[in-house]
Amino acid sequence: MIEVPLVDHHCHGVVTRDLERPEVEAMLTEADAPGLAGTLFDSQIGFALRRWCAPVLDLEPHAAPDTYLARRAELGAAEVNRRLLAATGIGSFLVDTGYVPEPITSPGELAALAGGTGREVVRLEAVAEEVLAGGCTASGFADAFRDRLGERCADAVGVKSIAAYRVGLALEGARPTDAEVTRAAGALLAAGGRARVADPVLHRFLVWCGIDFRLPVQFHVGYGDADTDLHRGDPLLLTDLLRATEPAGVPVMLLHNYPFHRNAGYLAQVFGHVFVDVGLAVHNVGRRADAVVAELLELAPFGKVLFSTDAFGLAELYLISTALFRRALGRFLDAGIADDDWTAADAERVAAAIGAWNAIRAYRLG
């Protein structure tokens, strides 16, 4: 297993309250509940949790779900979070703060649990909806958004788009004019109620604003919960936008990507500003993480691959992701050494780059 310090370049906070079994299972995967499956402990991620997390809570590997949950309750949320996050070896957390369905840790609080550092990634749509809810006019939206984004990004290391959830990734490359933005904002405001950005013009505008601020732009791609239409989340649909934004030289980070991770690897190869990961997928595919990581690395330059967990809510997801990613990357690199495809020194350098240095370079973490 590769042991390198990690930069988790896309993640979320964890809940700080004690959880009952249905709540734990609901947070294990992108499903809302086990449904007819019976229990999510009988899945790749369920078995991975029992294998990797149980020993950190002083249990034998593969402890039964009821035994694990009883021990979790006995220790309490604060101690469970501290133990599991400290065991990850993550040194830096780049935290998407745009999804907060209930109170969760801030970037600083999350990082403190692991003895690391936390930085914020600002969700573009959340800022836009905040501006629209604040009483701006359609004609004033573009400038008001730019001003507010500048304020929110004063200490941020990146921005994120969830266009995949709202309209899909088939976005035109051209930068929208302010007149086009005014019309789109006007239509949204005229609809009344709580503003929810779901217009291709507005999503393109938000992305271009992030580019103008010279901040890495993250895109949710592929795998997600039932709110996304997966067929509209193929990263190849971003090709026009990637062509248009490449001259700016601002990194574009394709997140998750499963089951389109091979397509994402291709884009990372042919576009100089594109970086990729398989966060979220790794802990969900469990022991198949070896295959997913290897498939991403078929075409993606090793200097364009980053580590992320996309963990949300459960500290267990952080530990499962790091353990499985380290094992998968280690096996991939060890196989290359055994076949004389690269040297041990090469493997060590690549592991450090993927685990941390690529993110440090792309996000200018210094």
Distance (Å) of CA 166 to CA 24, 143, 194: 27, 23, 15
CATH code for position 130: 3.20.20.140
Q: Pull the structure tokens for residue 169.
A: 């990734």
CB of 105 closer than 8 Å to CB of 14: yes
Classify residue 206: in a domain, yes or no.
Answer: yes
Rounded to the nearest 10 degrees, the angle between the axes of helix 315-338 and helix 44-52 is 90
Quote the CA–CA distance of 318 and 111 in Å, as a whole number. Answer: 12
Check residue 85 and give its pLDDT: 98
* pLDDT tens digits, one per residue of 279-335: 999 999 999 999 999 999 999 999 999 999 999 999 999 999 999 999 999 999 999
Res. 81: pLDDT tops 60: yes
Check residue 79 and give its pLDDT: 98
Tally of domains within the chain: 1
Classify residue 39: in a domain, yes or no.
Answer: no
Classify residue 282: in a domain, yes or no.
Answer: yes
Res. 1: pLDDT tops 60: no
* pLDDT tens digits, one per residue of 186-215: 999 999 888 899 999 999 999 999 999 999
Classify residue 215: in a domain, yes or no.
Answer: yes
Closest CA to 53 of 308, 329, 283: 283
Closest CA to 97 of 122, 130, 125, 127: 122
Classify residue 53: in a domain, yes or no.
Answer: no
Closest CA to 146 of 121, 181, 172, 119: 181
Measure the N-to-C terminal CA separation of the chain; round to a whole number of Å: 27
Cβ-in-10-Å burial (0-12, 13-18, 19+) of 135 comes to exposed
Alpha carbon 137 to its chain centroid, in Å, reads: 33
Q: How do 6-11 and 158-161 pair as beta strands? A: unpaired
Region 97-117: what's the mean pLDDT?
95
Mean of the per-residue pLDDT values of the chain: 96
Region 135-149: what's the mean pLDDT?
96
Q: Pull the structure tokens for residue 53.
A: 């997390």
Q: pLDDT over 70 for what percent of the chain?
A: 99
Res. 31: pLDDT tops 90: no
Classify residue 182: in a domain, yes or no.
Answer: yes
Classify residue 45: in a domain, yes or no.
Answer: no
Region 256-284: what's the mean pLDDT?
98
Q: Pull the structure tokens for residue 166.
A: 């709202």
Q: pLDDT over 90 for what percent of the chain?
A: 92
Region 79-107: what's the mean pLDDT?
96
Res. 277: pLDDT tops 70: yes
Classify residue 67: in a domain, yes or no.
Answer: no
Range of the domain at 192: 6-18+76-362
